[in-house]
């Protein structure tokens, strides 16, 4: 079976020949591994066949360019089209820091969507990314997906703290923003498909939980975001695609509604956030495909016996398929090349069906 066929077998409720595999090492991790013996450019091909591939294919025009306000060679301050000012550190593996959000109220948002938001226009798609996606889809070796920014992320155009406050103080505006984002996502996907890209589905990226629980209640999720998500997911299912959802944190309280909304695969199921895959597998079974939940801490700080026990225990939960191997988050530079090779060897040994 190809890597793509393994994913499709899981989605169809069947059993592949072996567990589908993918991972997400940071660029700094790859640099460490190269120093420790990995062939330059050797990930993932020297380890496994990557089962999923894709990119965002966002609509961009001249209004989408970042305005550089300051650049001292170490840090860079930019302003985005919506007015948000951000400091980033291009030469380090760090998260950009927002200095000021440009959209502060509904009037600002309505002005942005009316005058500065890029139109949904095929001519504004990134040509190189489009050609790359066409090639992935035509080869049919990996599950080809278009990555989209989720509805909660989309409302955070005003800042996450403000968005969470507005869910209580001005929920109608939050829902309006979410529904607006849902329509644009559908239009964007439709334009990409019309350019000849053969999609297997979408990768819906929308972190909605902290370590100890969701950022908002299931009741608010149902009211504000679930309708728009169902609109997107029904559209994807309508042309035979599937929905792969990424969300960090302890997402368990929202899972019943996410499954009902139509997700087909979910990751990364963070162990460090208290997600128990055995418990979820017992509750939901094969209603969705699970990815991740391999404890990264065992890779970073455990012995080889610890790593093997973790892989064996998690893969043994799925004797008939329904699981995609991945760590429970991106792989930081704390992971040694030797330990990672051992982990992958264990997945190959215990992941045969």
91 in helix, strand or coil? coil
Please report whether residue 145 resides in a domain. Answer: yes
Looking at the domain assignment, is residue 75 inside a domain? no
The rounded distance, in Å, linking the Cα atoms of 25 and 330 is 5
Is 236 part of any domain?
Answer: yes
Does residue 122 form part of some domain? yes
Question: In this model, does residue 60 exceed pLDDT 90?
Answer: no
Closest CA to 351 of 321, 331, 329: 321
Domain of 130: which CATH number? 3.20.20.210
Residue 88 lies in a domain: no
How many domains does the chain divide into? 1
What is the phi-psi region of residue 210: left when phi exceeds 0, alpha when psi lies from -120 to 50, beta otherwise? beta
pLDDT for residue 254? 98
Q: What pLDDT digit, counting tens, does each position of 106-141 carry?
A: 999 999 999 888 888 888 888 999 999 999 999 999
DSSP state of 94: -
**Averaged pLDDT, 192-205:** 96
The Cα 258–Cα 225 span in angstroms is 10
Mean pLDDT, to the nearest integer, of 94-113? 92
As given in the structure block, the two tokens for residue 338 are: 């030797």
State residue 65's pLDDT score.
Answer: 77
Q: Residue 307 is part of which domain span?
A: 3-61+118-350
- Residue partners of 116: CB distance under 8 A and separation at least 6: 63, 81, 82
Report how far residue 7's alpha carbon sits from residue 66's, in angstroms, rounded to the nearest whole number.
37
Name the 3-class secondary structure at 323: strand
Residue 186 lies inside a defined structural domain of this protein: yes
Structure tokens that stand for 60 in this block:
């961009």
Is 301 within a domain?
yes
Share of the chain above pLDDT 70, in %: 99
Rounded to 5°, angle at Cα 157 from 26 and 122: 80
Query: Do 57 and 192 form a contact (C-beta atoms < 8 A)?
Result: yes
95 assigned to some structural domain: no
Six-digit token string for 177: 């923003």
pLDDT at 90: 81
Structure tokens belonging to residue 133: 């996606």
């Amino acid at each position: 079976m190809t890597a793509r066929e393994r994913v499709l077998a899981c989605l169809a409720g069947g059993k592949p020949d072996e567990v589908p595999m993918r991972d997400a090492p940071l660029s700094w991790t790859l640099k460490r591994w190269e120093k420790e013996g990995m062939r330059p450019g050797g990930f993932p091909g020297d380890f496994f066949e990557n089962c999923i591939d894709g990119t965002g294919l966002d609509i961009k025009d001249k209004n989408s360019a970042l305005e550089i306000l300051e650049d001292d060679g170490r840090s860079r301050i930019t302003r985005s089209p919506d007015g948000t000012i951000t400091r980033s550190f291009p030469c380090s593996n760090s998260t950009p820091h927002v200095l000021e959000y440009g959209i502060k109220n509904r009037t600002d948002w309505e002005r942005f969507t009316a005058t500065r938001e890029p139109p949904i226009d095929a001519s504004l798609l990134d040509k190189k990314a489009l050609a790359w996606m066409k090639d992935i889809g035509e080869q049919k070796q990996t599950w080809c997906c278009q990555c989209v920014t989720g509805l909660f992320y989309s409302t955070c155009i005003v800042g996450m703290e403000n968005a969470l406050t507005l869910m209580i103080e001005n929920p109608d505006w939050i829902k309006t923003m979410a529904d607006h984002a849902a329509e644009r996502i559908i239009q964007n996907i439709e334009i990409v498909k019309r350019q000849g890209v053969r999609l297997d589905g979408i990768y819906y990226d929308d972190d909605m939980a902290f370590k100890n629980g969701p950022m908002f209640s299931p009741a608010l999720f149902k009211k504000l975001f679930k309708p728009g998500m169902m609109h997107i997911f029904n559209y994807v299912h309508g042309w035979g695609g599937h929905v792969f959802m990424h969300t960090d944190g302890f997402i368990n309280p929202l899972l019943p509604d996410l499954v009902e909304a139509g997700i087909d695969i979910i990751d990364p199921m963070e162990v460090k956030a208290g997600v128990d895959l055995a418990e979820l597998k017992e509750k939901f079974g094969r209603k969705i495909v699970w990815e991740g939940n391999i404890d990264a801490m065992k890779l970073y700080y455990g012995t080889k016996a610890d790593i093997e026990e973790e892989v064996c225990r998690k893969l043994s939960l799925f004797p008939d398929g329904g699981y995609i191997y991945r760590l429970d988050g991106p792989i930081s530079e704390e992971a040694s090349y030797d330990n990672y090779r051992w982990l992958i060897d264990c997945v190959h040994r215990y992941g045969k069906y």
